[in-house]
Structure 1
Amino acid sequence: MTTQRERDSDADSSPDTPEARALREAMVDRVLAWRAELGQGLADNVRDAMRAVPRHLFTPGASLEEAYADDVVRMKHGADGTVLSSVSAPSVVALMLDQLRVEPGHRVLEIGSGGYNAALLAELVGPDGEVTSVDIDPDVVARARAALAATGYDRVRVVCGDGESGAAERAPFDRIVVTVEAWDIPPAWVEQLAGGGRLVLPLRVRGLTRSVVLEREGDHLADRGYELCGFVPMQGAGERRERRVPVHGEPGARIELLLDDDRDVDAEALSAALAGERAEAWSGATVGRMEPFDDLDLWLASSLHGFCRLTAEQGALDRGLVRPFWPRGNPALVEDGGFAYRVLRLVAPDSSRHELGAYAHGSDAQRVADRFVEQVRVWDRDHRGSRARYTVHPAHTPDEHLPRGLVVDKRHTRITLSWP
């Protein structure tokens, strides 16, 4: 197969090497195996594009092994250590491109640049298509332009600007893909999407991010599927970070609650609650060792008014201050000056199944733990194996025109999570 890069440049002059090509083949094989393990395939054109594009040339400073590992390559950090730009893990790149369903001749807009994903898109659209990539960071734009030119993908148009506004001068687009975490969907993305077009983005709702496929359905957008993912947050006009409420502030043992709304929370009361007795409750619902249950998180976010997420540094775990199942963003509940969070325990020493439960702290800890666990039971009884439904309406849409479910009001939209 002749690739776009080979058509547009002299492939023999590229700094690609046999070692890099072998590592790239192994990377794609791992992605295919991972997709098969999930019971999902990967479109042939996405597979071929990933085999063709030299990922290592878009990750300067990383070793070949790092460039072709199934991991994020962090490219730029802020003064506080926050990751500002990264090249996403190959498995996530493959997932989103598979969701996007790009065809030859398509016009594609990418929000959030870096070069690698844009090169893959250039392979997918072919010589008759167009790819426009927008990023707010001049350093990222310069790096993307240099890497795309060096690898023969300089037909990609890389624009320095706020992705919130899209790229009206190149619209309409058959496909729009957002490669930064988005808290909302600005009007420009909807307006610049062609009829029958598809928008794929990492959409954050109540702190939970999913790569959601959206298409027009009457006067709103409706999802055509979603997958678990993680991305660096959007910058610019659309930036909206989660609030971090400290529960324990000791360096190396910090515990924080992440809130994605404007609730007033008493941090001192939560710290005091942590120092008190711990309550626990168990649901009777179990999960297998490799069994996915991330839709439980969406159900808890939909059904618990005080839903948030808990993070804990290693020192807090070592000292047993908290014992979350997932310390980098564990589902939690804040209520009445206390909090609860999800935990797991082995059903039996020789079992591969874990029971879902909750630990809670505060003056009314047992009631808060019980409330958390009751919603786990509801999910297990009524929604296990089902999928939530995302719908996106304009911000002015009245309540009576929305589907039943959790309604999250954002700046530009009203997003509903509903369940069968």
Structure 2
Amino acid sequence: MEPWTILVIGLLVLGISTPFWSFAGLLRVVGEWQNRSSPRQLSRTQESPIDPGEVAVLIAAHNEELVIAETIASALTLVPPENIHVISDGSTDSTAAKAMAAGVKCLELSPNRGKAGALKAGIEHFELADRFEVVLLLDADTRLAPDYLHTGLQLFKDPEVVAVAGRAKSLPERGRQGLAARILLGYRERLYAAVQLLIKYGQASRPANVVNIVPGFASMYRARILPSLDVEARGLLIEDFNMTFEVHAKRLGRIEFHPQAAVAYTQDPDNLAEYTRQVRRWTLGFWQTVRRHGLHVGRFWAMLALHITELVCASLVLLLCLPVLLISEMTEFVLLRPVDLLIGVVLPDYLLTVFAACSLRRPSLLLVGLVFPLLRLLDAGICMVTLVQAWTRKTSGVWVSPTRRLQHT
């Protein structure tokens, strides 16, 4: 196979968005260095534009008794208890009792409405849009970094910013882990590093404003825009893609993200069944949101179309590589050689692992990263299956309780 063909395969797997937005992010780094304007620098020298007392924390929870107390405890280090609002959505365990024991406000719903329905009920019941400047949406398994608000609120200095996307990191695991758990958690850490540092940081630059998700695990919205968002869009499995698309579709303002700001830690799946279920939920929710909103004229929608094209192309290439290689080995038609697969797919993928290992200072990723292409293959299969399901099946959005682990940071 010709070298240019290998290059095409590599570009189809990695896409052109990654190098493009990485360059945009690099320009942003240079600008912040010259102006000394990174969130951490500003938080050390300037007061926050919004006082933490003006921030409401909203936690939608369904059967989260194993983790809810620690999540509330992390929020209590940043805001007073009267600012924390827990929505126990059809819980049948001690979620509500633990929330009330922590001294925070708690609304119990029955029957189960799903996360989006619970968030909408909490926003309306506690009148958060009228009483607070900012609402922090927090998952029940998330721990906030001590400087989450000090750094995150700095991003609201720009009056055009209406949402701040939190930076996701994996909760550090304590104790011994099996090989499968180390591989899955390492793969998720690489995903966070690659997407957030190489793509999202550039997408959030002022001239661009094309961030496609404000993750619901730990992100902030200006309270005044919440009534303009269709938080409880029917038939969607997840709410965060839809809320982000709503911001762009209604031209409500700019979405900001910075790797040094609004950092939070989330509990990621440590077994294949839970991992598959979570990825299916995320990808199906994305395709459902695309189906609901469609594509429009504008910078965000153009970048979304490019992202969809790259996502589908990369998934198809990954899924077809092995069958084409097998045909090439069994017949006289040499369409793909093992060395082509190595150079065009495995090597570019491993370069992402090297980047993550260096940026996170996690050399252990270099070892487990050797099998990450297999997980990318799984992701590709889920992507294509859920693409079809988004247009052929309906979902209610009702909670499917995740399996939680007792964990201390």
Question: What is the TM-score of this pair, normalised by structure 2?
Answer: 0.29
Of structures 1 and 2, the larger Rg is shown by: 1
Q: More strand per residue: 1 or 2?
A: 1
Q: Relative contact order, CA 8 A, sep 6+: which one is greater?
A: 2
Question: What is the TM-score of this pair, normalised by structure 1?
Answer: 0.28
